[in-house]
Amino acid sequence: MYNEIILDHFRKPRNVGVIEDADGVGEVGNAVCGDMMTFYLKVKDDCIVDARYQTFGCGAAIAVSSMVSEMIKGKKIQEVMEMTHKDVSNMLGGLPPQKEHCSNLGIDAVKKAIEDYRAKKACNNTSAVQK
Amino acid sequence: MENKRVYFDNAATTMVDRRVLEHMLPFFSEHYGNASSLHLEGIKAYQVVEWSRNQLAQLVQAQPEEIYFTSGGTESNNFAIKGLARSSKKRHIITSPIEHPAVLKTAQSLAREGFTLSFLPIDNKGIVKVEELESMITPNTLLVSVMLGNNEVGTIQPLKELSLITRSKGVLLHSDAVQAVGNMPVDVKDLGVDLMSISAHKFYGPKGIGALFVRKGTNLLPLLDGGEHEQGKRSGTYNTPGIAGLGKACEIALQEMDEFVPRISTLRDDLINKILHQIPEAYINGDLKNRLPGNVHLSLPYVEGEALLLRLDDAGFAVSTGSACSAHNLKISHVLKAMSTDVLCAQGSLRISLGRHNKQEDIDAFVQVLADVARDLRQMSPLYRASKEGDRHV
């Protein structure tokens, strides 16, 4: 059912983990639908310098999170915001049709983490001004 | 990469026993006659059909003329339910929510044609509530269909108690017994069933052959019209190699039942105990006592079943899961849902079904690997982290 690229990422997921002092955290999915992903980002000069994640989900969900973590590391935030689930699916050599939704999950989690980063940054700037 | 494979999916299908295969082979190219033909080639084929019918009848304590060969469990279930529906004016069927799709979808198909369906409630161990049956039966009730051994959580249903009620109410009782026959003692007289579905590949016979037991005097119409085989109830040229294999599988099951059942049950209980002791928060689904000899069904919260299955497959173990992600419809198992299993447990469910070829060393090696895989996947699960943080806050 899964191709070799997907199986490789599933068997040896890259960049698994939690960043305790992350600049942005994004969580999507829930246990009911069977997939849940949390992405942690470190950002420097509008660039993603580190990306880690935790994933509860099937083989495809784990492979997607691993691939996404590799795709976004070192990229400018703007570039990442332009990535689509199709890009992830293509990089994985295509997901089985019923698993296509898993690729959304990875991209959505990262974009949510970026929004979180931006919100925190805006908040910090505001508090800096207030001082 | 490990080359040794351990097959723990015997509820899905079993390996054809070597003795069964050898018994089948002559019926492909030596005794290849049509069992309905009158010449020697035909007689040879006919003889094995009747020999097999006798073997199966002995295995389930039926009369040979009460056995109708079919293509397997799905056809037998369709034949029983639709065949009865077509022979009666009654329009109400009672079944259970944990039946195999071959029963559920058949009943739903009749519901679209105007039948009324009722579902006998089940408890959280996965056993039907017998006491609810009597009040559900109406004068319009044709049939109660409840499986003998559940294919997912392995629960043995109280058929004997159900039959006391159906008999007293003049309602027929069908049981999908494909998981049970050949794997535990089954006696149609003792159970009191009127119809019972049987499948050879669930007990070391070939795929594509099964049977329906129909108690003498039960009126059901055929699904397949044609050359009037099987007393006019099931047309189609006899699948003699398959029937020969089914017969041999029955003969072996009958001979070895006394050795097989206690041995597999002991392995099963050992596996259950080891899982509960060695894997934190593991949970066994179903009933610990009323359980198919080879069935272990567990839940590992915080991890997802398909991921577990694939990791175990990589380590050399073939198992099965009821998680949503593994299903083509992306829904969690209807059995676990009907049992009101916690959704997190349902997602992390695994079925390990032991068979004749499994050994103690397979069990020991499996528990070790399962513990490692569970730890590894939990380590990367946000749900596991959340639960541990929750613990810390308490």
Interatomic CA distance for residues B134 and A83, integer angstroms: 61
Among B residues 16-55, those touching chain A with beta carbons less than 8 Å apart: none
Spans of all domains in chain A: 4-125
CA distance B329 to chain A (A): 8
**Where on the phi/psi map is residue B293: left (φ > 0), alpha (ψ -120 to 50), or beta?**
alpha
Chain-chain contact of B380 with A62 (C-beta, under 8 angstroms):
yes
Judge whether B302 is closer than 8 Å to chain A, CB to CB: yes
Specify the CATH architecture of the domain A4-125. Answer: Alpha-Beta Complex (3.90)
Interatomic CA distance for residues B251 and B248, integer angstroms: 5
Active-site annotation holds for A123: no
Residues of chain A positioned with their CB less than 8 A from the CB of B376: none
Chain-chain contact of B382 with A61 (C-beta, under 8 angstroms):
no
* Segment B92-146, tens digit of pLDDT: 999 999 999 999 999 999 999 999 999 999 999 999 999 999 999 999 999 999 9
Interatomic CA distance for residues B319 and B301, integer angstroms: 17
Interatomic CA distance for residues B135 and B133, integer angstroms: 6
DSSP B129-194: -GGGHHHH--TTEEEEE--SB-TTT-BBP-HHHHHHHHHHHT-EEEEE-TTTBTTB---HHHHT-S
Q: Which is catalytic among the residues B325, B343, B380, B386? A: B325
A13, A31, A98: residue with CB nearest B380 = A13
Judge whether B314 is closer than 8 Å to chain A, CB to CB: yes
Interatomic CA distance for residues B352 and B320, integer angstroms: 7
Contact at 8 Å (CB) between B218 and B171? no
Spans of all domains in chain B: 6-13+257-385, 18-253
Residues of chain A positioned with their CB less than 8 A from the CB of B332: 34
- B18 burial (CB, 10 Å; 0-12 / 13-18 / 19+) is exposed
Domain spanning B6-13+257-385: CATH 3.40.190.10: no
* Segment B175-219, tens digit of pLDDT: 999 999 999 999 999 999 999 999 999 999 999 999 999 999 999
Distances (CA, A) of B268 to B17, B63, B295, B363, B372: 21, 33, 7, 9, 20
Residue of chain B nearest A55, judged by CA positions: B381
* Segment B238-248, tens digit of pLDDT: 999 999 999 99
ipTM of the complex: 0.91
Specify the CATH architecture of the domain B18-253. Answer: 3-Layer(aba) Sandwich (3.40)
Among the residues of B279-347, which ranges form H helices? 305-314, 334-338, 343-347
A11, A16, A57: residue with CB nearest B304 = A57
Mean pLDDT of A36-54: 96
The residue behind tokens 């099987």 is: B230
pLDDT at B393: 45
Chain-chain contact of B385 with A31 (C-beta, under 8 angstroms):
no
